[in-house]
Amino acid sequence: MKGPHFLTASELYTDRDFSKFYRKYYFRFVRYAYYYVSNIPAAEDITHDALLYFWEHKNLLKFTTDEMLNYILKSIKNGCLNYLKHGRLQTDFNKENKGLEKWEVAIRIQTLEDEEYDTIFTKEIMDIVMKSLSELPERTRKIFILHRMHDKSRKEIANQLGVTVQNVDYHIRKATDYLHMKLKDYILILLLFMN
């Protein structure tokens, strides 16, 4: 059995590849940060800093391709944690974080700090995703997996399976709608990875 393939980030991302990656995930990362900090400029800054750090240190980092998103999400999570902790110390905290009560901030900080929560939460979501995918019709499941998990274009899938691009779109939409319903309690993760 073949093990995971390790690559340095510099091997995975040339300037052009990183630019494509940035465009694909930037707004998803911002939404993830915004979920915790409830401040768009802060969420954008945190996301930008995490991506910039990743790019500047790409020659020192070694990942399997599956670990790269987790690394950046962890950086964003730490940025959110630092932002919330720093904000709690500021005297005008309530002005900067309208809508966030002190108890909400405390819960968000605790959630961000809890590593065990991350592991349990991620496993729970993946269990729901895998169970939900197994409930889909075979063709819908196959098209969704090819598109979302193997990063195949709609046209590539259509050619591979001998169907139209519209048919591929139908199955992707059907699977996404079904997963959205099943993961309604985990909407943050759904927004991050299913758009």
Answer with the one of 82, 114, 146 that is the final residue of a domain. 114
**Same domain flag for 77 and 129:** no
Confidence of residue 68 (pLDDT cuts 50, 70, 90): confident
- In this structure, the answer to whether residues 65 and 151 fall within a common structural domain is no
Asked if residue 195 has pLDDT above 50, the reply is no
Beta-bridge partners for 7: 63
pLDDT number for residue 139:
93
DSSP-assigned states of every residue in 92-156: THHHHTTT--HHHHHHHHHHHH-HHHHHHHHHHHHHHHHHHHHHS-HHHHHHHIIIIIS---HHH
The token duo for 26 is: 């930037």
SS3 (DSSP) at 191: helix
- Report if pTM > 0.85: no
Q: Is the pLDDT of residue 52 over 50?
A: yes
**Do residue 13 and residue 103 come from a single domain?**
yes
Residue 4 inside a domain? The answer is no
E strand or H helix that includes residue 160? helix 154-161
Q: How far apart are CA 128 and CA 186, in angstroms?
A: 10
Answer whether 35's CB lies under 8 Å from 188's CB.
yes
Q: For 163-186, how does the pLDDT look when each residue is reduced to its tens digit (9 = 90+)? A: 999 999 999 999 988 887 877 766
